[in-house]
Amino acid sequence: MTPHLFSPLQIREVRLKNRIVVSPMWQYSGVDGRPTSTHVVHYGRLAEGGAGLVIQEGTTVSRVGRGTVGDLGLWDDSLVPHHARLVEVVESGGAVPGIQLIHAGRKGRRTPPWAAHEHEPPASADWQLLGPSALPITANGSGVPAEMSIRDIEDTVTAFANAARRADEAGYEVLELQAAHGYLIHTFLSPLSNRRTDRYGGSTANRLRFLVEIVDRVRAVWPAGKALFVRLSCVDVEWTIDQTVELVRELQQHGVDVIDCSSGGLTGVPAPGTKTDYGYQVPHAEEIRTRTGLTTMAVGYIVHAAHAQAIVENGQADLVALGRELLHNPHWPIDAARKLGLTDPYAQAPGRISHWLRKRDESFPDLVPSTEGSRQL
């Protein structure tokens, strides 16, 4: 019997060949929003490695919302053909192409993580930090955003909708909204970063309004057959799983298909009770799935094939997303298929690769894959 990790999943009209997802990973290599050869290599090798779905990195909906100078963007129609090229690369690798849309909010305008990851002085007048309230990320005052006007909010909701329309035109089939990790949408959800007194702040319904409006406007342009994911920080400082469940129940009414279950990021402090260990965020995916019935994706230190298989087999999540493990080994899905005893593990890769891998096995029946130790010569 096929291990559950390698069973297909249908979401609306989108069919994933297996439950393995490439988690969105910023590559800091865009030029004025455009992908470069780096992205072609990065997404090509990840798609060919056998994952069912590749969710492309956080792609900014407006120039002002950029996290770093190298962000990819979808703030202009001229960017669509560049993204269509990435869609082609991912599809030719055999995976479904997905994209994450983001506005970095008060976590914007930073240097890359390996270069201190600090706020840079404004490179241009159109790149200021924005937030629901003028509250810094940390107590020491890092990243004070300008409080958004109602006009700013409306423009940003429109920017998400326009970027979603462009993502559809480029050919992406899965769209994920980044509403976690302290970026703009997340700062509206939490009362720690949102002290507004208008209809976007105060009560729970008011703090959720920005995200719900984005979802509605995105769903209106994102085809009914395509899938909509939302990434949430399910627990964070002064934010509990119960609050997330309440939010998810609301999102369920607005056409969201999958919750990508992450945690933390609003302040510099880890979410209470967080102990970074294998699959440490899986319990959030499980609780949301159980309490709301919505499809969930687990992420965070999922490393071993047997563990990934157990997560989906036991009904803790419907999908598993891997980030760093796939950077380490883009062929992790093929390795996992071998380890879990799939009859034809190479079927996860496109024919131009799988054909030769099968022949390689036929030529050397006792061949031991490089990741599983070596045989005596």
Ligand X SMILES: Cc1cc2nc3c(=O)[nH]c(=O)nc-3n(C[C@H](O)[C@H](O)[C@H](O)COP(=O)(O)O)c2cc1C
Kindly list the residues in this chain that would bind ligand X in the complex (CB under 6 A): 23-26, 57-58, 100, 178, 181, 231, 262, 299-302, 322-325
Distance of CA 276 to the CA centre of its chain: 19
Rounded to a whole number of angstroms, the minimum distance from the CB of residue 137 to ligand X is 17
How buried is 340 (Cβ within 10 angstroms: 0-12 exposed, 13-18 middle, 19+ buried)? middle
Q: What 3-state class would DSSP assign to 119?
A: strand
Q: What 3-state class would DSSP assign to 278?
A: coil
How buried is 293 (Cβ within 10 angstroms: 0-12 exposed, 13-18 middle, 19+ buried)? exposed
In the complex with ligand X, the residue whose CB is nearer, 324 or 360, is: 324
Rounded to a whole number of angstroms, the minimum distance from the CB of residue 299 to ligand X is 5
Q: What 3-state class would DSSP assign to 238?
A: coil
Phi, psi of 356 (to 5 degrees): -80, -30
Please give the structure tokens belonging to residue 203.
């009560």
* Sign, Cα dihedral of 101, 104, 109, 115: negative
Is position 183 annotated as part of the catalytic site?
yes
| Bridge pairing between strands 227-233 and 174-179 | parallel
**Nearest residue to ligand X, scored by beta-carbon proximity:** 323
Residue 300 belongs to what H/E stretch?
none
In the complex with ligand X, the residue whose CB is nearer, 70 or 94, is: 70
| Bridge pairing between strands 96-102 and 14-16 | unpaired
From 183, 280, 301, 346, the catalytic residue: 183
In the complex with ligand X, the residue whose CB is nearer, 186 or 196, is: 186
In the complex with ligand X, the residue whose CB is nearer, 68 or 354, is: 68
In the complex with ligand X, the residue whose CB is nearer, 229 or 346, is: 229
Q: Where are the alpha helices (DSSP H) in the chain?
A: 37-48, 80-92, 150-170, 184-189, 204-221, 241-252, 282-292, 305-313, 324-328, 332-339, 351-363
The set of catalytic residues is: 183
